[in-house]
């Protein structure tokens, strides 16, 4: 028995344009971000009925929930919020420009890998990946064999998918564009995720 997930990053925000770390903070979605959300919805709506989305589950942060609601209007399926899908907490680095942090301790380990290192008063990549994975397992357990759109955040996706692939090569800005989607499925019997190509 398998549950299929589409992991989507929210539409572009003002701070994404500036490469300013949002983490648990938020900024307004740009016009481009609204277009990305609409394009995501239209792409998913054009899938054959056998691959249609049964449920949308979103992070509680406004940039994700706005994107999810745009998708819901097109897909006409139930929508839920799950705290476990929230973005990684960047602690004292939230609201800082990404490019200004390069000389901080463990910068590469925090942004290019998934390790136990965390920004001051923030969340490690390992903790973020485990939290996100647990949220997906809980969603799959309640909705087995469904196709579920998860609307979430770049670094949460990066941490989760890096742990699955055991490969880390770049930051979330470069790896997961706004409005992009990756597919994964959860095998209930094996209790294992697999990234689908």
Q: Residue 103's domain is classified under what CATH number?
A: 3.40.50.1240
Q: Range of 148's domain? A: 2-196
Domain count, the chain: 1
Q: How much is the pTM?
A: 0.95
pLDDT per position as a tens digit, 75-104: 999 999 999 999 999 999 999 999 999 999
**Residue keyed to tokens 């990305």:** 36
- Give the least confident one: 22-31, 50-59, 120-129, 174-183: 174-183
Contact 169, 112 (CB under 8 A): yes
Per-residue buried b or exposed e for 10-27, using 16+ beta carbons within 10 Å of the residue's own CB: bbbbebbeeebbbbbebb
């Amino acid at each position: 028995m398998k549950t299929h997930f589409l992991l989507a990053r929210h539409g572009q925000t003002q701070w994404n344009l500036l490469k300013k770390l949002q983490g648990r903070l938020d900024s307004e979605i740009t016009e481009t971000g609204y277009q990305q959300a609409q394009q995501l919805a239209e792409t998913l709506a054009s899938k054959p009925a056998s691959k249609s989305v049964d449920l949308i589950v979103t992070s509680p942060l406004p940039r994700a929930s706005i994107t999810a609601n745009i998708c819901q209007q097109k897909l006409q399926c139930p929508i839920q919020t799950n705290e476990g899908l929230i973005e990684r907490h960047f602690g004292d680095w939230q609201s800082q420009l990404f490019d200004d942090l390069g000389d901080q301790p463990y910068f590469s380990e925090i942004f290019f890998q998934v390790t136990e290192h965390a920004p001051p008063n923030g969340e490690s990549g390992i903790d973020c990946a485990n939290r996100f994975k647990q949220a997906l397992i809980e969603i799959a357990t309640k909705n087995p064999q469904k196709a579920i759109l998860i609307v979430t955040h770049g670094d949460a996706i990066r941490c989760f998918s890096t742990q699955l692939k055991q490969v880390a090569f770049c930051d979330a800005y470069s790896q997961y564009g706004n409005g992009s989607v990756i597919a994964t499925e959860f095998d209930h019997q094996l209790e294992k995720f697999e990234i689908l190509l």
